[in-house]
Amino acid sequence: MDTRFDQVYTHPENEIFRVVFYPDRIYHARYLTATRSSRYRYYVAEVRNSADGTAIKGDVFLGGTKLCPMLRIEYSGIRLVEQAREFGRGLGPRTKAWIRITGDDPEKTAEATVTLHWDPVIGAYAAEIWGTLEAPEGTPHDHRVLPLMGRDAPITRAPALSPLLGEITEVAMAFREDGMLYPTGQRIGNPQWDNAYLRSHQEPRTQEPSSPQNTVEDKNYLLDFQRGFFIPDASQIKPVNYRNAMTDEGNPDRRDDNIVQMRWLFQRELGSDLVFFHEVTVPPGAVEGTHRHIGSEEVYYVVEGTGLAYMSDGDDPTTSGYPLVERQVFGIGPVKCRELPVRPGSVIYTKSGGVHGIRNPGDKPLKFVAFLYHTT
């Protein structure tokens, strides 16, 4: 950690916002596996999170000398617990993590499966993948740390990953049950996965509206170690077209020319529970169908044009003075909604269980940007 952090930690602006310099526990390196011996030290280069998973990359030092690069994986297991409960099972002291890392050269990737062990200190499953478990000649490992090393141990080595550990740019992860029922040891025939809910992302591979070619299946969490992203002109990003987005058969808004465009600015690059940040264009006469959010929240911020947004009656009590209309909600049927006029600067914030949609009855395009993220 940069020692200058301590000099600004108590500045008023940091006391107020706790955003620019946040005291992430991991930078203190007190909870990493080998620190039970004072002979080991860690240099944590970067930390990335996505939902229940964390990837920490850095180096391990033994006796003041760099031993090797390392990658630490932590997983809280909340989502996998729910998957296992569907089959009447709980999680034991171990889970598995499938990991794929990418090096400085995007064409250089490697993958492996490692065992994660429950660590009550951090309240999560964890494993550290070291570039080597061999101590330098004449400098043996500490007796308090050596038993934690080995295949399927809390400190392990994955030969396939070792060549790239010092140059990680991306980490893809998915998690599953251990495969052995705890505590009986009975083999599980259908171990469940937490693979980001069969996660996919959108790419403009074709301009055919709603083409399945534009949906790329990932089925994993992606942690990107790139530190910044600059888009000079978002309008130059090709949009993905969607016909009759969020409208069912029988909805009067459903028609062949009802096409909206979405420019997917950030998707898998986002950390935590964020799913995407994109720009939506609703052409004159077009509609993004009214729909309900379950387990996610979304923010619309209108940047261009005017139109009508819809919010379920009662979702925001302050909208009770607006016209009450009936809208066909995607997959649900008719719902009483408030019809809200929107213009540049209008904001629509929908929490889990809420309903929203937007229509452009005018003669100019309506544009808004949207953030969507999973709730926990």
| More confident call, 25 vs 12 | 12
The contacts of residue 2 (CB under 8 Å, 6+ apart) are none
| More confident call, 370 vs 20 | 370
Average pLDDT rounded to a whole number, residues 218-245: 94
At residue 222, the pLDDT reads 93
Q: Which two tokens stand for residue 180?
A: 């052995």
Question: In which band, very low, low, confident or very high, does the pLDDT at 237 lie, cut at 50, 70 and 90?
Answer: very high
Q: For residue 281, what is the enclosing H or E element?
A: strand 274-282
Average pLDDT rounded to a whole number, residues 301-323: 97
Q: What are phi and psi of 136, to 5 degrees?
A: -60, 150
At residue 355, the pLDDT reads 96
Instruction: Quote the pTM value.
Output: 0.86
C-alpha span between 40 and 148 (Å, rounded): 13
Question: In which band, very low, low, confident or very high, does the pLDDT at 97 lie, cut at 50, 70 and 90?
Answer: very high
Architecture of domain 226-374: Sandwich (2.60)
Average pLDDT rounded to a whole number, residues 245-262: 94
At residue 345, the pLDDT reads 98
Question: In which band, very low, low, confident or very high, does the pLDDT at 30 lie, cut at 50, 70 and 90?
Answer: low
Instruction: Tell me the sheet residues that pair with 128.
Output: 72, 155
Residue 110 has pLDDT above 50, yes or no: yes
Closest CA to 1 of 58, 54, 84: 58
Residue 271 has pLDDT above 90, yes or no: no
At residue 3, the pLDDT reads 67
Mean of all residue pLDDT scores within the chain? 91
Residue bearing tokens 């096409």? 259
At residue 349, the pLDDT reads 97
Question: In which band, very low, low, confident or very high, does the pLDDT at 49 lie, cut at 50, 70 and 90?
Answer: confident
Q: For residue 7, what is the enclosing H or E element?
A: helix 5-8
Question: In which band, very low, low, confident or very high, does the pLDDT at 177 lie, cut at 50, 70 and 90?
Answer: very high
At residue 18, the pLDDT reads 55
At residue 29, the pLDDT reads 59
At residue 26, the pLDDT reads 45
For residue 48, count other CB atoms closer than 10 A to its CB.
20
Q: Where are the alpha helices (DSSP H) in 12-141?
A: 12-17, 78-85
For residue 239, count other CB atoms closer than 10 A to its CB.
18
C-alpha span between 283 and 242 (Å, rounded): 12
At residue 19, the pLDDT reads 54
Residue 21 has pLDDT above 60, yes or no: no
At residue 197, the pLDDT reads 78
Q: Where are the domains of the chain?
A: 1-29, 31-194, 226-374
At residue 25, the pLDDT reads 45
The contacts of residue 260 (CB under 8 Å, 6+ apart) are 241, 242, 245, 280, 281, 282, 283, 286, 287, 288
Query: Percent of the chain at pLDDT above 90?
Result: 79
Tell me the pLDDT tens digit for each residue of 126-172.
Answer: 999 999 999 998 899 999 999 999 999 999 999 999 999 999 999 99
Which range is least confidently modeled, 49-53, 123-127, 351-355? 49-53
The answer to whether 68 and 40 have CB atoms below 8 angstroms apart is: no
C-alpha span between 163 and 282 (Å, rounded): 48
The contacts of residue 129 (CB under 8 Å, 6+ apart) are 70, 71, 72, 73, 99, 112, 114, 156, 157, 158, 161, 165
SS3 call for 354 = coil
Residue 2 has pLDDT above 80, yes or no: no
Which range is least confidently modeled, 17-21, 133-137, 337-341? 17-21
Instruction: Tell me the sheet residues that pair with 307.
Output: 342
